[in-house]
Amino acid sequence: MKIFSILTLTACILILVACTKDIGPNPDLVKTEFCDTITFTKHVKPIIIKRCVSCHTAGGFAAAYGDFNTDTYTGIKPKIDNGTFKGRVIDLTITPTMPFGMTTLPADTIAILKCWLEAGAPNN
Instruction: Report yes or no: 23 and 29 within 8 Å, Cβ to Cβ.
Output: no
| Cα–Cα distance measured from residue 120 to residue 101, given in angstroms and rounded to the nearest whole number | 28
Query: Of residues 11 and 32, which shows the higher confidence score?
Result: 32
In this prediction, residue 29 carries a pLDDT of: 45
User: What pLDDT digit, counting tens, does each position of 23-74 carry?
Assistant: 544 455 455 678 999 999 999 999 998 988 888 887 777 777 777 776 788 8
Instruction: Report yes or no: 116 and 42 within 8 Å, Cβ to Cβ.
Output: no
pTM above 0.95, yes or no: no
Query: Of residues 9 and 76, which shows the higher confidence score?
Result: 76
Which among 52, 88, 87, 90 is positioned nearest to 72, based on CA atoms?
52
Q: State the pLDDT confidence band at 86, using cuts at 50, 70 and 90.
A: very high
